[in-house]
Structure 1
Amino acid sequence: MQDGPKRVTTNGDSERPNVARLFDYYLGGAHNFAVDRVLAEESIKRFPVAEMARTIRSFSRRVVRLCVEEMGIRQFLDLGSGIPTAGNVHEVAQSVDPSCSVVYVDHDPVTVAHARTMLRDNLSAAIVQADVRDVGAVLRHPETRRLIDFTKPTAVLMVGILPYIVDEPAGVVARYRAALCEGSVLALTHLTKDVEPDLVDRLLVLSGDLGSTLIPRSKQDVEEFVCGLKLLEPGLVLAAHWRADGELPGTSAAADASTYGAVGVI
């Protein structure tokens, strides 16, 4: 087994900052370049963006552990995954049960190149390059079909991706829900300006500088996405507070108040 992180050997773009590599840096990962680190450090000085990233990742880890340990779920579809860096889904799930299978989905070729390099020795995890809005393409992809049997309970993770879906996000959520059998789980987070609008506005500026559009939504908006699901306690709440059990994912109360989270059962 090789020591240290696997590195991208394809033509990864090291000249411009990349959203997924920034997220990797904020989480303490090693799959980022100097150009990413410079922008990341500049943004950290302006607002607690790293704490925001850690809040989301902490929520994801708690959900995955719950699915494996308490619900018997062994299949995960992680939509808009970014680079599967520190505390990633397959690492958490397979540490509990090595038989767990994970399919990551991302449209960005740089992200996919990093992920494929990282996952090349793991036969139970793969990444699909696709737009998460094209539900049919995601579900029919050969790697998805190889690793996930949708007649069995599956966890679909929409952690951090919904703000990037500008048009009809509820319809996208509904189409994934329709593919899931009874006992499956849908977990999501969503950026909001309900509590900390100034902080979120700064994140929107950073995202715009990177060429991405983010749409924060209200709690009422997010409730539409989970309508009809049996929400696990405590329901739709700030992600930092969802079954945190004393865990403090960030050191910034403002950062912890920027994102909603919920887990629903089909």
Structure 2
Amino acid sequence: MSDAAPRESAELRSDRPHPARIYNYLLGGADYFPADRAAAEAGLAVNPGARIAARANREFLRRAVTHLTRDAGLRQFLDIGSGIPAAASPHQVAQALAPETHVVYVDNDPLVVTRGRALPSGHGSIEYLRGDLREPDDVLRRAGTTLDLRKPVGLLLLAVTHHLRDEDDPHALVRRLLDALPTGSYLALSQVTSDLEPAGWRAVAEDFAQRGGVLRPRSRADIDRFFDGLALVEPGLTLVHRWRPDERDQHSGEPDALVSIYGGVARKD
């Protein structure tokens, strides 16, 4: 996430790396600028596992949305910090199982919104909004024009909370979103940890800071706090490639230290 205010008219900053575009580069996409590629390559130079972490996280996203659609019966998703549209996006996964599913994507990079709004109408009921996790009330108000927030929602916060500073109080921001959602809603969240590869992730975080960005790896205990008061589904909070791996995964056998992202799915009772 950038530090810019989440305005629809905000100028695209191609000279400054943005996590959504860095993530796109790590996933093998083409929607990035030289500044994003330079930041990604600098991160890989000090932590070669960053590319594996991004791709394992993407597989976790697919499995989590599959579970929430097929097994939990959700038909609404709010994906904040969604990133640039890519293969196996939540609407593709969910609508393949339930075509009536509604998905609202929120990101503060204008390129994400531009790419998302250019998707063919045949993709079903989806909406892309320019917004910021740090402004949860604004996100909820605008998402509520597409989603029925009186009915269960799948809140997706995948690889986004580590772009919040501690002083942003990310746990309170997540709690504000959850408090606005009804019983039967779910949280799917993943976040980088430095528990397993502290030197590598510390170096990446320092490089982010030098480029004007934020990367804040957190301990497993700190990540577990995002799920306070919720009922975690099995296998609980775990490294993302260990969360219900299936035959489609390409990274389920990777060493834990190369993944270094914890994730979980939990229900609001």
Secondary structure of 1:146's match? coil
**Cα pair distance change 1:76/1:191, threshold 3 Å:** same
| Map of 2:195 onto structure 1 | 194
- How far 1:195 sits from its partner (Å)? 1.1
| Map of 1:241 onto structure 2 | 242
**Cα pair distance change 1:119/1:127, threshold 3 Å:** farther
**Cα pair distance change 1:118/1:18, threshold 3 Å:** farther
| Map of 1:264 onto structure 2 | 266
Q: Which runs of 5+ in 1 are unaligned?
A: 1-10
- Which deviates more, 206-215 or 35-44? 35-44
Q: Contact conserved, 1:187 with 1:261, CA < 8 A, in 2?
A: yes
| Map of 1:181 onto structure 2 | 182
Q: Contact conserved, 2:239 with 2:256, CA < 8 A, in 1?
A: no
Do structure 1's residue 62 and structure 2's residue 86 form an aligned pair? no
Q: Deviations over 1:71-129 (max 9, x none)?
A: 11011100111112222111211222221111111112233223322366645111111
- Which deviates more, 212-221 or 229-238? 212-221
Q: Contact conserved, 1:83 with 1:115, CA < 8 A, in 2?
A: yes
1:78-227 equivalent positions in 2, closer than 5 A? 78-118=79-119, 122=123, 124-141=125-142, 144-166=143-165, 167-227=168-228
- How far 1:13 sits from its partner (Å)? 5.1
Secondary structure of 1:195's match? coil
Secondary structure of 2:128's match? strand
Secondary structure of 1:23's match? helix
Q: Deviations over 1:31-52 (max 9, x none)?
A: 2345544654564455132111
- How far 1:244 sits from its partner (Å)? 1.4
Q: Contact conserved, 2:39 with 2:208, CA < 8 A, in 1?
A: no
Distance 1:13 1:61 in 2: 30
Q: Contact conserved, 1:18 with 1:210, CA < 8 A, in 2?
A: no
Q: Contact conserved, 1:16 with 1:35, CA < 8 A, in 2?
A: yes
- How far 1:265 sits from its partner (Å)? 0.3
Secondary structure of 1:214's match? coil
- Which deviates more, 163-172 or 196-205? 196-205
Distance 1:36 1:219 in 2: 28
Q: Contact conserved, 1:79 with 1:104, CA < 8 A, in 2?
A: yes
Distance 1:39 1:85 in 2: 20
Distance 1:34 1:193 in 2: 27
Q: Deviations over 1:177-219 (max 9, x none)?
A: 1111121101111111111112212321342344211111111
**Cα pair distance change 1:121/1:31, threshold 3 Å:** farther
Secondary structure of 1:78's match? strand
Q: Deviations over 1:128-172 (max 9, x none)?
A: 11121211100111xx22321112111001111111222211111
Q: Contact conserved, 2:84 with 2:111, CA < 8 A, in 1?
A: no
| % identical equivalent positions | 38
**Cα pair distance change 1:138/1:39, threshold 3 Å:** closer
Distance 1:211 1:250 in 2: 33
- How far 1:59 sits from its partner (Å)? 0.9
The amino acid across from 2:261 in the alignment is: T
The amino acid across from 1:263 in the alignment is: V
Report the aligned-residue RMSD.
2.5
| Map of 1:4 onto structure 2 | none
What is the count of residue pairs matched by the alignment? 255
- Which deviates more, 241-250 or 81-90? 241-250
Q: Contact conserved, 1:190 with 1:222, CA < 8 A, in 2?
A: yes
| Map of 2:27 onto structure 1 | 27
Distance 2:130 2:56 in 1: 26
Normalised by the length of structure 1, the TM-score is 0.85
The amino acid across from 2:160 in the alignment is: I
Q: Which runs of 5+ in 2 are unaligned?
A: 1-10
